[in-house]
Amino acid sequence: MAHAFRRRGDGLLACRLDGEEKAIIAQVAQETADLIRTDLGVEAGTGAIRRAADSEDPLQRLEAEFAGRSAREPSDSAVSRLFPAAAEDAASADEYRRLGQQDLAEAKLADLHRVVEVLDGAGPGHGEVQVDEDDAVTMLRALNDVRIVLADRLGVQRDGDFDTVRMMQQIGEQVEGADGGEDEEHVGSDVVIAVYELLSWLQESLLRSMD
């Protein structure tokens, strides 16, 4: 069972999670990273394009400019929420995506990867997860991105909507209990809701411990 984050005497922030909780959080973080990478067409090694853009060689800079000229607009609704259009005007929005979407995507992917590293480093069983201030900020950003993806899958647009989703789930459980059955879709939504609640609680716990 999860225990809230607390600040230790050495300044580190720590919580206790069991092996299944760590595995689930690492899994949804990795799945969120894979979703971003697939939907936006982000490929490994794009840092080379940025280094070429800073090169003193004018040919390399020109090649980097053409390489970064196109930016894929998100097709997945959750990714669209992570990378919203910066302007109502289509041309301005496209220009922003061309100039900034790649860097933003790489930053989000780095945050998610770091969370997986931290959780893996804590070991497979029940144990303490420790982060310093920098990793705590990274974890807050990453958990928020994962929550946005899960919220999209649940149809949650605002925090208050989650209470409605939870209430509908409870009503559904009562109806299914009376019928004596439970379908796979309901079980799947139960899992997503449980993970969303875990991440929300963990994020709030970490934020409180940093205050």
**Residues 29-80 pLDDT 10s:** 999 999 999 999 886 544 555 555 566 776 665 655 555 445 788 999 999 9
Best CA proximity match to 142, nearest among 119, 121, 159: 119
pLDDT of residue 45: 47
| Residue 27 pLDDT level (bands cut at 50, 70, 90) | very high
pTM above 0.85, yes or no: no
Residue with the bigger pLDDT between 8 and 71: it is 8
What angle do helix axes 19-40 and 102-121 make, rounded to 10 degrees?
A: 160
Are 44 and 76 contacting, i.e. CB atoms less than 8 angstroms apart?
A: no
Confidence tier at 13 by pLDDT (50, 70, 90): very high
So what's the pLDDT on residue 136? 97
| Contact call for residues 163 and 128 (beta carbons, < 8 A) | no
Mean pLDDT of 161-172: 58
Q: What is the mean pLDDT of residues 7-30?
A: 95
- Residues 6 or more apart whose Cβ sits within 8 Å of residue 3: 15, 16, 17
Question: How far is residue 32's CA from residue 39's CA, in Å, rounded to a whole number?
Answer: 11
pLDDT at position 65 is 56
d(CA 198, CA 196): 5
pLDDT band at 154 (very low <50, low <70, confident <90, very high): confident
For the chain, what is the mean pLDDT?
82
Q: Is the confidence at residue 160, as pLDDT, over 60?
A: no
